[in-house]
Structures are given as C-alpha cells and as structure tokens.
Amino acid sequence: MTRAIHSFADAPLAPGLHAALTANGINEPFPIQSATLPDSLAGRDVLGRGRTGSGKTLAFGLPLLSRTAGHRARPGRPLALVLVPTRELAQQVTTALTPYARTLGLRCATVVGGLSLVRQADTLRAGAEVVIATPGRLADLVQRGDCRLDQVAITVLDEADQMADMGFLPQVTDLLRQVAPNGQRMLFSATLDRGVDRLVRRFLTDPVSHSVDPSTATVTAMTHHVLQVDAVDKVAATAQIAARDGRVIMFVGTKHRADRLARQLLTSGVRAAALHGGKSQPQRTRTLEQFRAGQVTALVATDVAARGIHVDGLDLVVNVDPPNEAKDYLHRGGRTARAGEAGRVVTLVLPEQRSEVARLMSTAGIRPETVRIRPGDDELIRVTGARIPSGAPVSVAAPPVDARMPHRTAARPPRPRRPRRAA
C-alpha cells in the first residue's frame, strides 16, 4: 500500500488540477483523499470508506479526471463512469467535478431518471468523457443503443451500500459486465456491507482498502440530542424548531408525511417545502435551489435526501420521525457538520419510541444528550434555537412541472427486452 500524502502537491495530478484546487479554496487533502490518492492515481482498484461529508467525491474524482485527461471520447462511448444511487447525489457529484473537468478539457454528462431521456441521449451522442449516472436511466440508454460502455476504463461506485439497500445490484452488476474488463474500479461509501462484498469479490482486482472513519458517528463537531416529547406536543414543537433563525432539514418517514408537514409549517408561517421521491426531478432540483438560497428555510424530506445533498452552513438536522436503522441515522445526520463545520442532530422521540431509539443510538455508537421538552421550553430553545412561528400563513413558489419530463424513479428495474424483428 502506498504511503498517504500530506499535500496535493505530493500527488501526480494532471497539469492544471493543482491550480484549480487552489482556486476553489481547497488547499489540503481530507483524510480519505490523503489515504487513497496515491493508489487511485497509480491505477489500483480501491475500496474506500469514509463518513458522509468526508471528501469522497474528490477522492475518486481527481484520479478519474487526471487519468482520463488527454483522451477524447467517441460519440456514445464514454471513458469514465460514476454510478450513484440517487438523482441528488448525481447532481452533487457533477457539480463537484465539473470545474476540474473543464480545466482538463473533459466533458461531463449527467444521466438520471426524471429528466428528458432524449436530451440525455443527444448529450451522449455529442460525446462525453465522463458520465455520472443512476443505474436505471443508464441501463435504459444502453438498451436503446444510445450508449456503449466498452470504452469505460475507470468505473466508480459511489454509495454502493445504498444501491444494495435499494435493490439496484442486479442493474449495477449488468452494467459492470459491460465496461472494459481490465479497467480500474473504485468503490467508495460511508459504509460497506450487505451485497457490496459480492461486487468487490467479482469486479475489483486485488483492491487496496482504506477506511479512515469507523461506521459509527465520531464527528467531534457534531452533537446529538434526543428530545422526548408527548404526542400532543409534537406538532407544536416541530413548528417551533422549524421557525428558528436559520435553515433546517427535517426528516420524516413517508412522502405523505413530508407533504403534510410542509403544509402545516406553511400555515404556521414557516417557509417550508417537501422533498421526496414523488417529486419530478425539475421540482426536486428547484426545491433544493430554494433551500440553498434561503427562500425555503425548512426542508421536509424523506430519506431520498439522506445522501447526496450538500448545503453549506447547515447546522441542524431534525429527525421528526426516527429512522429505522442506525445507518439511516448516520446518513441523515451527515447533512450537517460537513467538512469540519459544526452541527447538531436532534431526534424527536415519543414515549413508545424510547427503547427502540435507545437501541438505535447504541448501534450507531452515539451517546446523545437526552432531555424532556414541551413547546416553548428553555431546553427546546437551547438545543434547537426554536422560536414561536408567526401564525401568518406564507407561500413558496412551487417548482415548475415540466410536462415533457414525466417523473421516473432514480433507478428502476429495466424493461423487458423486445425481440428484434427480422429485416
């Protein structure tokens, strides 16, 4: 295993990338980058684990771009591929890599469900060296003949464990069979479990493993709080937290709950919006833009937002509905305290949920501060910055619905192949 680097200057990146990093305010590598870059730049297969927000995107993105630099893709024949589980994560990866790709003269294409398949096919036919894709949409384009993967020399699986959890491994496996057989494969994730080990054994050759963070929550800048609340007080307490001075992401369990809570908050005077898989991609993108810009201050989300969303300066995440698993808790909490910033994760717990949440916290390696609260309590204000909402209903401009872009899930099982008719 190659020794870790302490500076980007120690890494043999393609010309121009060092200056681009400095121009973007990135001066020193994060631990996951420091550990993996020597091996990934050397062309080794890499298995990397780092907590959410630890810098994994540039850990795989810089070597992918550096090793692709100087090559030109033929129409519909990309040279590098990044597979991700959700549209939001695809957009985040694209946003992070595009400035560096431009520096090297490389073209990036984002391929996700919920947006025009025809436009994406046109982009691929125009030529793109790097494709960032969700498995279902990429499978559709491959099946249509708009994309071939046989020239893909570098393949990255980002958040592979979530792809396994969501049942996408058959699609991922089929796509990996189609890339260049002797190419480089990198697998990065916050956790490595379940079906991921099968992918590693089948598609990675003598991989170098790097794990710079344990799978439990050890971010010193992140604090964890359990607020015990009675059912009769939960709605009012939630509204007061949402009315704080500053943005907050509030996680709930279902799409219906997200829509209902967003409506309740708007009625109480909080600029809120819902984000979930039932929204079209243009709607989801616009909602995130509104949240980042401060037009929306309370984002009510399902676990579709638990990975792949980065919002600078977000200092509070609230689990209005506790997650089902410790891993889900860690990924929800990973929306705050990113890149060394401070943040708090608050979980509202009803009396009947206490024992289950206590087990979840123990599994996640978390020792939260636990307090009992009611609406308006000093403790609620201390932990969350809660304020009494105005009570004057507000509205937020609804994201547009593009009739030409019907909703599709981020990835779905491929349609059955139709038999070709004889000429």
Q: State whether CATH 3.40.250.10 applies to domain 222-384.
A: no
Q: What is the pLDDT of residues 35-44, one digit of tens each?
A: 999 999 999 9
For residue 82, the tally of other CB atoms under 10 A from its CB is 26
DSSP annotation string for 359-402: HHHHHHT---EEEE--TT-HHHHHHH-------S----PPPP--
The Cα 35–Cα 25 span in angstroms is 20
Pick the CATH number of 8-211 from 3.40.50.1580, 3.40.50.300, 2.60.40.2130, 3.30.300.30: 3.40.50.300
CA distance 161 to 108: 24
In 10 A of CB 324, how many CB atoms?
12
Secondary structure E strands in 55-144: 80-83, 108-111, 130-133
Q: Do 221 and 341 contact (CB within 8 A), yes or no?
A: yes
What per-residue confidence (pLDDT) applies to 311?
75
At 191-214, the pLDDT tens digits run 666 578 888 888 999 999 988 754
pLDDT band at 227 (very low <50, low <70, confident <90, very high): very high
CATH 3.40.50.300 domain locations along the chain: 8-211, 222-384
For position 97, what pLDDT does the model report?
96
pTM over the 0.85 mark:
no
